[in-house]
Amino acid sequence: MGYATCFVCGQENDKGLHIHFHKDGENGVRASFLAEPWHEGWPGIQHGGVTSAILDEATAYVTFFMGVVAVTAQLQVEFQDPIRVGERVEIEAHPTKVTRRIVEVDASIRGTDGALKARSHAKMMILSQQQKEEMGLANLP
């Protein structure tokens, strides 16, 4: 998205995850990620907050690639199988419903073997110009 300091995608954030999301089809996104020791919660397992942040960012990239500025209004995460430290995972997200003010997005994280690790359903609120100004985001398209 071009936000160099973003925790999930910012390439200039020394403490960030440095995930690069790319378009997949018309409105979907994809990325991959390797869980490192400093992402750990329980011994050998990626922290659930890191997993949730990745799903939230995938969701945000869907709206970004759709050309709208939106914020997460609701994020429901289901954890299916632990992501192990040292494990590479694949992330994908796509919109499921679009209205004038809300974009609903489903996202998932799977192991390279296709096993579902986590999934989410989100409601992204499209910001009006006034809301963008109030949040200090007026210069965004």
Q: Which of 17-31, 58-72, 112-126 has the lowest mean pLDDT?
A: 17-31
In the prediction, which pLDDT does 46 show? Answer: 96
**DSSP conformation letters of 58-99:** HHHHHHHHHT--EEEEEEEEEE-SPPBTT-EEEEEEEEEEE-
116 occurs within a structural domain: yes
In the prediction, which pLDDT does 138 show? Answer: 84
140 occurs within a structural domain: no
Q: pTM for this one?
A: 0.92
Residue 2 has pLDDT above 60, yes or no: no
Whole-angstrom distance between the N-terminal and C-terminal Cα of the chain? 12
Q: How confident is the model at residue 137 (pLDDT cuts 50, 70, 90)?
A: confident
6 occurs within a structural domain: no
Q: How confident is the model at residue 10 (pLDDT cuts 50, 70, 90)?
A: low
72 occurs within a structural domain: yes
Counting the structural domains of the chain, the total is 1
> Which residues face 120 on adjacent strands?
77, 107
Residue 1 has pLDDT above 70, yes or no: no
- The mean pLDDT value for 31-42 works out to 94
| Whether the Cβ atoms of residue 122 and residue 74 lie closer than 8 Å to each other | yes
| Whether the Cβ atoms of residue 100 and residue 77 lie closer than 8 Å to each other | no
16 occurs within a structural domain: no
47 occurs within a structural domain: yes
Show the domain range for 38.
Answer: 22-134
Q: Phi/psi of residue 62, each to 5°?
A: -60, -50
In the prediction, which pLDDT does 11 show? Answer: 77
CATH, residue 99: 3.10.129.10
53 occurs within a structural domain: yes
Q: How confident is the model at residue 4 (pLDDT cuts 50, 70, 90)?
A: confident
61 occurs within a structural domain: yes
The 3-state DSSP class for residue 112 equals coil
Q: What is the pLDDT of residues 43-101, one digit of tens each?
A: 999 999 999 999 999 999 999 999 999 999 999 999 999 999 999 999 999 999 999 99
